[in-house]
Amino acid sequence: MRWDTLEEETCSLARTVAVIGDRWTLLILRECFLRVRRFEAFQSSLQITRHLLSERLKKLVRFGILRRVPYSDAPKRYEYILTQKGLDLYPIIMAMVHWGDAHMGDERGRPLLHEHKTCGKLFDPVMVCSECGEALHAKQVHVHAGPARREAGR
Amino acid sequence: MRWDTLEEETCSLARTVAVIGDRWTLLILRECFLRVRRFEAFQSSLQITRHLLSERLKKLVRFGILRRVPYSDAPKRYEYILTQKGLDLYPIIMAMVHWGDAHMGDERGRPLLHEHKTCGKLFDPVMVCSECGEALHAKQVHVHAGPARREAGR
DNA sequence: TTTGACAGTTCTATTTTAGAACTATAGCCT
DNA sequence: AGGCTATAGTTCTAAAATAGAACTGTCAAA
């Protein structure tokens, strides 16, 4: 499997991985959710090489995850803003943060705490079933072939 | 930033990314959740090179995500089974599958459907606040420095 | 005794990433 | 006018990671 074929796989995980499945992209998205928007700001907070940052931002724009929006006419300058498609990545990022908090922490506790403005409390993200609202666990889920899979003949 | 320093960052996302933030690792984990356990099975379903598969499995074992369990004594053979730490990655994988379903699909519909055994229905995963149970959205969350961050002096 | 299954390891070629330097536009200061 | 700074990139070479193929070792079954 080569990477240019990954986004055409009949697997939603593979397609997601084709877009955000590398380390720099995930870290760039973290910065986006922390309200970072400009090239220099990404570069200095991540210490990513300018070359790769440029390349990754282009890719995220190409996939519709970021929009490149002008904020100055002369000289022409742009900032990168999450689209709705990009904002929808939030559960992925939060799930990763939560797993890191739970399993990769050290004695100093958590780096960040999250407050839910709606209820005013510090919270953890929990993944639940859309139908019954119960917390989801891998062993309670059964997988069926969907229409795309059947059409692909597997 | 080099990758060997990534897991020591004061950021839970970075630490998670250090472990599972590459494309093959995520695809290997998908197979694990689909009950694949053996070297040859991973290799043939993913078409990953044997070299990389070997290297990634070792890394996942080293981080306590998979356990290498003997299933035959002569010849010695092992299979790779998710630990609890590994099972806890489920929300990340499901969030990625769900985003792919929503944003990277084609006209053929979904590759896989998920049934929640507990309630018997086909479901989507939803991320909610642990405190109030409401669905989470990026714009409703405020971030505070936690103890580890303050100790790191930022 | 030969073949095949399984779980890797080893080798070279190609691709990707790191790190540093360079380019371009324009405002501001003297 | 001339030089300095800020911003947003591009270009170059060296180092690291990945792809692809071949090879190793153990044992069972034919």
| A16, A87, A110 ranked by CB distance to B96: nearest | A16
- Decide if A62 touches B, using CB distance below 8 A: no
A92-120 average pLDDT score: 97
Cis peptide before A91 (omega within 30 of 0): no
| The pLDDT of residue B116 | 98
Q: How confident is the model at residue B152 (pLDDT cuts 50, 70, 90)?
A: confident
What residues of B are in contact with residue A30 (Cβ under 8 Å)? Answer: 11, 13-14
Mean pLDDT of chain B: 95
| The pLDDT of residue B2 | 65
Tell the residue number behind the tokens 């639940």, with chain if given: A128
Q: Minimal CA–CA distance to A38: which of A71, A84, A65, A64?
A: A71
Residues of chain A with pLDDT > 90: what percent? 87
CATH architecture of A3-144: Orthogonal Bundle (1.10)
B38 touches strand C (CB under 7 A): yes
The verdict on a CB contact (< 8 Å) between B88 and A99 is: yes
Q: Following DSSP, what letter does each residue of chain B receive, concatenated? A: --HHHHTTSS-HHHHHHHHH-SHHHHHHHHHHHTT--SHHHHHHHH---HHHHHHHHHHHHHTTSEEEEEEETTTTEEEEEE-HHHHTTHHHHHHHHHHHHHHS-BTTB-SEEEEETTTTEE--EEEEETTT-PBP-GGGEEEEE-HHHHHTT-
Domain residue ranges of chain A, discontinuous segments joined by +: 3-144
B34-62 average pLDDT score: 98
A53-65 average pLDDT score: 98
Q: How far apart are CA B131 and CA B146, in angstroms?
A: 18
| The pLDDT of residue B29 | 98
- Decide if A73 touches B, using CB distance below 8 A: no
- Decide if B134 touches A, using CB distance below 8 A: yes
Q: Specify which residues B127 forms β-bridges with.
A: A127
Residues of chain B with pLDDT > 90: what percent? 88
B70 touches strand D (CB under 7 A): no
Q: What does CATH list as the number for B1-88?
A: 1.10.10.10
| B87, B112, B123 ranked by CB distance to A129: nearest | B123
What residues of B are in contact with residue A138 (Cβ under 8 Å)? Answer: 33, 82, 87, 90
| The pLDDT of residue B146 | 96
Asked whether the predicted pLDDT for residue A127 surpasses 80, the reply is yes
Asked whether the predicted pLDDT for residue A67 surpasses 70, the reply is yes
- Decide if A101 touches B, using CB distance below 8 A: yes
The verdict on a CB contact (< 8 Å) between A140 and B118 is: yes
| The pLDDT of residue B7 | 84
